[in-house]
């Protein structure tokens, strides 16, 4: 039996356990094996572990101070499988990213500024630099709950997150196929999609092409016969076209993400540019993944994309206002020294701090379980 130091945190609309990278190095075990047993996987309830049994609560944030110039913290994200004994390292979680700056300051890795502190975070999954700004009045981290975001009923501490030059971090190109729109095969429904890589690889498709409006509650969408299977077929073919895997079967569950998009209802969604329902790990996300919102922001500014066709003409290009199941999420788009920066304001909260217990082997469930 081994105790591993950990902090439980909410970042955005997700919950994650935060670990120092060195603490997950266990003799004779891979990090995958360690995380799966800590989280209680494979088991749909994760009853014998710290996982929450959903894609937004089975996440790990692994951190270390960086020796690289211009980078303060190296951040690796792990999506821990629930029903399968697999850890997905192929993407970042933008919501979980929101916890990094405060953790680094508390650990003493970053010296706080007099009023605000900028922490330069390198996500190792996607080689993405994220500049996070948190309030530090008088040189002290301020974690006062003072801001709200859709999808979280309580106030949280704010963090301003900017993804620096986010295009093509996974595939090398903003539009991996070289086209603003692609038509998929008949096996995937023959639908027209936009494949975009910024923040994370994302497939954007018209909700109407799947017989839905795009503004439904996610519980209602979950009940549409065959919808999730059709969307997964689209997502998997898109993953191959984007160069993320050689076959549809080999495409990871985490990426690409898939966004069902629609024009906002003027009567019910005033102040919204685009309505979105996004898949995460095979289920509809309760709000919208931060990385997905970055991708949609850049796609909205590119004529010819599925997304651009739906947003209002003449809207400001300083961000995108997304109508999500939890409410409106707004992104920002800026330039600093000629470099594009796209991001959002999220909130975070420390929930608990202590240690998690890794039991002795065997680490997989017994045959009788």
For the chain, percent of residues with pLDDT exceeding 70: 98
Q: Is 235 a domain residue?
A: yes
Length of the chain in residues, anyone? 369
Q: Is 86 a domain residue?
A: yes
Q: Is 367 a domain residue?
A: no
What pLDDT is attached to residue 151? 94
* Residue 229: partners with Cβ closer than 8 Å, 6 or more residues away: none
Q: Say yes or no: 104 and 216 in one domain.
A: no
Q: Is 249 a domain residue?
A: yes
Q: Is 252 a domain residue?
A: yes
Residues paired with residue 294 on neighbouring β-strands, in sequence order = none
CA 110: distance to chain centroid? 24
Q: Say yes or no: 351 and 260 in one domain.
A: no
CATH at 19: 3.10.310.10
Q: Say yes or no: 125 and 187 in one domain.
A: no
How does residue 258 score in pLDDT terms, banded at 50, 70 and 90? very high
Q: Say yes or no: 92 and 193 in one domain.
A: no
Q: Is 33 a domain residue?
A: yes
Q: Say yes or no: 102 and 199 in one domain.
A: no
Model pLDDT for residues 93-120, shown as the tens digit of each residue: 999 999 999 999 999 999 999 999 999 9
What pLDDT is attached to residue 104? 99
Q: Say yes or no: 149 and 209 in one domain.
A: no
Q: Which of 320, 198, 205 is nearest to 258 (CA)?
A: 205
How does residue 267 score in pLDDT terms, banded at 50, 70 and 90? low
Q: Say yes or no: 150 and 24 in one domain.
A: yes
What pLDDT is attached to residue 316? 86
Q: Say yes or no: 156 and 188 in one domain.
A: no
Supply the Cα-derived Rg of the chain in whole angstroms.
20
Q: Say yes or no: 201 and 100 in one domain.
A: no
What is the Cβ-side half-sphere exposure of residue 172, based on CA atoms within 13 angstroms? 5
Q: Is 327 a domain residue?
A: yes
For the chain, percent of residues with pLDDT exceeding 90: 92
| Residue 19: pLDDT over 80 | yes
What pLDDT is attached to residue 230? 98
Burial grade of 2 (CB within 10 A; 0-12, 13-18, 19 or more): middle
Q: Is 228 a domain residue?
A: yes
Q: Say yes or no: 327 and 221 in one domain.
A: yes
What pLDDT is attached to residue 367? 57
Whether residue 322 contacts residue 273, with contact meaning beta carbons closer than 8 Å, is answered with yes
- Using CA atoms, how far apart are residues 7 and 11, in angstroms rounded to an integer? 12
Q: Say yes or no: 352 and 322 in one domain.
A: no
- Using CA atoms, how far apart are residues 30 and 24, in angstroms rounded to an integer? 9
Average pLDDT score over residue span 199-215: 97
Domain hosting residue 146, numbered range: 2-166+347-358
* Residue 361: partners with Cβ closer than 8 Å, 6 or more residues away: none
How does residue 369 score in pLDDT terms, banded at 50, 70 and 90? low
Q: How many domains does the chain have?
A: 2
Q: Say yes or no: 150 and 29 in one domain.
A: yes
| Residue 282: pLDDT over 80 | yes
Q: CA torsion 84→88→92→95, rounded to 10°? A: 20
Q: In this structure, is the dihedral angle defined by the CA atoms of residues 13, 15, 16 and 17, taken in order, positive or negative?
A: positive
């Amino acid at each position: 039996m081994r105790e591993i130091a950990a902090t439980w945190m909410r970042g955005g609309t997700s919950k994650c356990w935060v670990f120092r990278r060195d603490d997950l190095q266990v003799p004779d075990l891979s990090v995958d094996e360690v995380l799966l047993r800590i989280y209680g996987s494979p088991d749909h309830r994760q009853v014998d572990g710290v996982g929450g049994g959903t894609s937004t609560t089975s996440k790990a944030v692994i951190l270390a101070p960086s020796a690289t110039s211009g980078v303060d913290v190296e951040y690796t994200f792990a999506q821990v499988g629930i029903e399968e004994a697999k850890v997905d390292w192929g993407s970042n979680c933008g919501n979980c990213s929101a916890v990094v700056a405060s953790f680094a300051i508390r650990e003493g890795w970053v010296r706080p500024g007099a009023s605000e502190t900028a922490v330069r975070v390198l996500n190792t999954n996607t080689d993405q630099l994220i500049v996070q700004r948190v309030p530090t009045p008088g040189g002290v981290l301020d974690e006062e709950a003072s801001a709200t975001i859709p999808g979280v009923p309580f106030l949280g501490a704010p963090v301003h997150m900017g993804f620096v030059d986010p295009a093509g971090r996974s595939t090398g190109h903003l539009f991996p196929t070289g086209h603003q729109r692609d038509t998929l095969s008949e096996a995937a429904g023959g639908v027209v999609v936009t494949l975009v890589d910024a923040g994370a690889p994302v497939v954007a498709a018209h909700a109407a092409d799947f017989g839905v409006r795009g503004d439904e509650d996610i519980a209602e969408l979950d009940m549409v016969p065959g919808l999730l299977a059709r969307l997964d077929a689209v997502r998997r073919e898109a993953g191959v076209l984007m160069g993320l895997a050689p076959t549809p079967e080999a495409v990871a569950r985490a990426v690409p993400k898939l966004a069902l998009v629609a024009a906002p209802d003027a009567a019910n969604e005033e102040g919204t540019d685009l309505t979105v329902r996004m898949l995460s790990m095979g289920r509809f996300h309760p709000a919208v993944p931060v990385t997905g919102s970055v991708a949609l922001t850049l796609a909205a500014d590119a004529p010819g994309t599925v997304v651009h066709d739906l947003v209002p003409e003449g809207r400001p290009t300083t961000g995108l206002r997304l109508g999500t199941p939890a409410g409106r999420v707004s992104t920002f788009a800026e330039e600093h020294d000629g470099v594009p920066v796209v991001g959002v304001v999220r909130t975070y909260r420390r929930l608990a701090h202590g240690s998690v217990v890794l039991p002795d082997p065997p680490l997989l469930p017994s045959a009788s379980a």
